């Protein structure tokens, strides 16, 4: 029987292959996963998981027992005898390739994005006849990987070639540029801590964008795997709600070193948003000088924009006419402090624009609001520090700035007067004298 010589293969072509005993070619089970060590640049396959019965857990077989690989037909192993403890020891620190990566999300450090693993390309190294090494060299993130697993690659590719005179394109990511979000060991369902050395090379802003696309557990696992400085810089770039969610879920002893590396104002804002018990636990792990400074700054920034915003405001729809908006201002100006602006909302209450009373009065009554409004107006979020809002007032010379939530839903307005009075309460006291 002539065996096909193959230099590259795919994980999907190994999964479910029959495992036979080389002495009599008798089938003894099927391959359900490959185990590998990640101690080198490219993971090397060090064992296979064979299931002998569907109701029994798979057993680990060292790769040294593999004596023959017949492409897409079977894997032949020699006779061996290992008890469960020997198998566990042999598989120590090895990961399951299929369970860890197939259909999972991973980070591509070359493109700074989250990609889905559709298959894995394996290099077959057959320099020694008595042993064949397998190396994981590429992650397949393309459509071909899906077709290959479904068994449709050959006919679909043939049809594509007939129509376009070319083959379907491979979409690979080299393992050198892959950062797993988690891995699973051979004899554990827990996720092992991943080596995040590749992530430290990514700019914190790009890394924050990547983490935003992950689930909560994966975000926490990766933040904890980063060095403290990179973790701090990355957290500062994330949306506040996601940042707070991560912090609330972390153990204080893991969180404290990260807080220690954050900018003081960012650390204060984050700790002020945490529950008291979490905040006190973190304080207990920081230096006395650090805690004193954090508490002092906390007093200065205790009130966010949300605490001084006015929830009475005038709104309009972009499809309304100017005359309608002016009539609304006449009715509502008595009950709202800030009536010089009308804020344009969509049907879900999201801020889409703003129009001043001056522009309304100078426009034709039959014109639509959409024709005169300013789109994408400057706004702040509820948790924005008042000092930052004050800088926006000086920069743009506004009388009021809209306050929105994470979804851009209008929550209220903050006036120039209220912002200044909050920062400099002595001015307000002098005015009342």
Range ranked top by mean pLDDT from 19-28, 187-196, 335-344, 384-393:
19-28
- Predicted confidence at residue 4, as pLDDT, reads 47
Of 47-56, 206-215, 239-248, the least confident: 206-215
Give the chain as a 3 state SS string: CCCCCCCEEEHHHHCCCEEEECCCCEEEEEEEEEEEECCCCCCEEEEEEEECCCCCCCEEEEHHHEEEEECCCEEEECCCCCCHHHHHHHCCCCEEHHHHHCCCEEEECCCCEEEECCEEEEEEEEEECCEEEEEEEEEECCHHHHHHHHCCHHHHHHHHHHHHCCCCCCCEEEHHHEEECCEEECCCCCEECCCCCCHHHCCHHHHHHHHHCCCHHHHHHHHHHCCHHHHHHHHHHCCHHHHHHHHHHCCHHHHHHHHHHCCHHHHHHHHHHCCHHHHHHHHCCCCHHHHHHHHHHHHHCCCEHHHCCECCCCEECCCCEHHHHHHHHHHHCCCCCCCCEEEEECCCCEEEEEEEHHHHHHCCCCCEHHHCCEECCCCEECCCEHHHHHHHHHHHCCCEEEEECCCCEEEEEEEHHHHHHHHCHHHHHHHHC
Record the tokens describing residue 360, joined without a space.
């309304």
CATH code, residues 306-432: 3.10.580.10
Length of the chain equals 433
**Nearest CA-CA partner of 184 in 301, 128, 104:** 104
Phi, psi of 115 (to 5 degrees): -130, 155
Question: Which pLDDT value is given to residue 429?
Answer: 42
pLDDT range class, residue 296, cuts 50, 70, 90: confident
How large is the average pLDDT for residues 27-32? 92
CA–CA dist 398, 351 (Å, integer): 17
Model confidence at 105, in pLDDT bands (50, 70, 90)?
A: confident
- What is the pLDDT at residue 428? 44
More confident residue, 88 or 227: 227
* pLDDT higher than 70, residue 1: no
Q: What is the pLDDT of residues 351-389, one digit of tens each?
A: 999 998 888 889 999 999 999 999 989 999 877 878 888
User: Percent of the chain scored above 70 by pLDDT?
Assistant: 82
pLDDT of residue 430: 45
CA distance 53 to 379: 62
Predicted pLDDT at 343? 92
Q: Contact 407/347 with Cβ under 8 angstroms?
A: no
pLDDT at position 90: 55
Q: Which residue has the higher pLDDT, 124 or 17?
A: 17
Beta-carbon count within 10 A of 219 CB: 23
What confidence tier does 252 reach under pLDDT thresholds 50, 70, 90? very high
Is the pLDDT at 133 greater than 50? The verdict is yes
Cβ count near 92 (within 10 Å): 10
Is residue 307 scored above 80 in pLDDT? no
Mean pLDDT, residues 383-396: 83
* Both structure tokens of 316: 């309009």
Which pLDDT value is given to residue 253? 93
Is residue 57 within 8 Å of residue 49, measured between CB atoms?
no
Give dist(CA 290, CA 301) in Å, integer: 16
Whether pLDDT at 209 is above 50: yes
The residue among 344 and 87 whose pLDDT is bigger is 344
Half-sphere exposure of 5 (CA within 13 A, CB side): 4
Tell me if 400 sits within 8 A of 341, measured CB to CB: yes
Structure tokens at 269: 């804002």
pLDDT at residue 222 in the model: 80
Alpha carbons 321 and 64: distance in angstroms, whole number:
80
User: Using alpha carbons only, how large is the chain's radius of gyration in Å?
Assistant: 31
Q: Which pLDDT score, from 0 to 100, does residue 116 have?
A: 85
Q: What is the pLDDT of residue 188?
A: 53
Please give the Cα distance from 224 to 215 (Å, whole number): 14
Average pLDDT across the chain, whole number: 81
Chain centroid to Cα 261, Å, comes to 21
Domain regions of the chain by residue span: 8-175, 196-302, 306-432
Say if residue 49 is exposed, middle or buried (CB neighbours under 10 Å; 0-12, 13-18, 19+): buried
- Predicted pLDDT of residue 192: 37
Banded pLDDT at 339 (limits 50, 70, 90): low
Q: Tokens 């034709």 belong to which residue?
A: 364
Torsion region of 208: left, alpha or beta (phi above 0 gives left; psi -120 to 50 gives alpha): alpha
Closest CA relative to residue 61, chosen from 94, 38, 39: 94
**Looking at the domain 196-302, which fold is it?**
MgtE N-terminal fold (1.25.60)
């Amino acid at each position: 029987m002539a065996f096909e010589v193959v230099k590259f293969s795919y994980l999907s072509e190994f999964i479910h292959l029959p495992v036979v005993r080389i002495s009599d070619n008798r089938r003894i089970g099927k391959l359900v996963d490959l185990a590998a060590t990640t101690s080198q640049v490219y993971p090397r396959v060090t064992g296979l998981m064979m299931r002998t019965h569907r109701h029994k857990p798979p057993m680990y077989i060292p790769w040294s027992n593999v004596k023959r690989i017949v492409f897409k037909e079977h894997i032949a192993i020699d006779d061996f005898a290992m008890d469960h403890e020997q198998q566990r020891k042999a598989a120590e620190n090895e990961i399951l390739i299929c369970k860890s990566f197939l259909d999972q999300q991973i980070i591509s450090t070359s493109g700074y994005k989250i990609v889905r693993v559709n298959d894995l390309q394996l290099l077959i190294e057959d320099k020694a006849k008595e042993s064949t090494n397998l190396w994981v060299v590429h992650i397949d993130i393309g459509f071909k990987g899906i077709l290959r697993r479904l068994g449709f690659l050959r006919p679909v590719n043939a049809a594509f070639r007939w129509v376009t005179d070319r083959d379907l394109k491979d979409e690979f990511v080299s393992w050198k540029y892959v950062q797993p979000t988690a891995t699973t060991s051979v004899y554990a369902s827990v996720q092992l801590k991943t080596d995040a050395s590749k992530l430290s090379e990514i700019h914190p802003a790009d890394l924050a964008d990547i983490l935003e696309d992950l689930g909560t557990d994966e975000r926490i696992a990766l933040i904890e795997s980063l060095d403290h400085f990179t973790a701090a810089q990355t957290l500062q770039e994330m949306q506040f709600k996601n940042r707070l969610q991560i912090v609330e879920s972390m153990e204080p002893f893991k969180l404290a070193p990260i807080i220690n590396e954050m900018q003081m104002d960012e650390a204060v804002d984050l700790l002020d948003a945490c529950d008291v018990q979490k905040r006190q636990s973190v304080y207990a792990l920081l230096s006395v000088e650090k805690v004193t400074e954090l508490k002092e700054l906390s007093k200065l920034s205790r009130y966010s924009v949300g605490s001084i915003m006015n929830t009475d405001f005038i709104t309009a729809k972009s499809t309304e006419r100017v005359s309608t908006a002016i009539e609304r201002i006449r009715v509502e100006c008595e009950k709202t402090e800030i009536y010089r602006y009308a804020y344009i909302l969509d049907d879900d209450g999201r801020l889409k624009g703003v129009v001043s009373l001056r522009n309304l009065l100078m426009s034709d009554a039959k014109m639509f609001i959409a024709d005169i409004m300013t789109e994408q107006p400057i706004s702040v979020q509820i948790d924005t520090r008042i000092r930052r809002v004050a800088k926006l007032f000086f920069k743009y010379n506004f009388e009021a700035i809209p306050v929105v939530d994470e979804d851009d839903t209008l929550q209220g307005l903050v006036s120039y007067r209220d912002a200044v009075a909050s920062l400099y309460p002595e001015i307000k006291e002098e005015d009342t004298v």
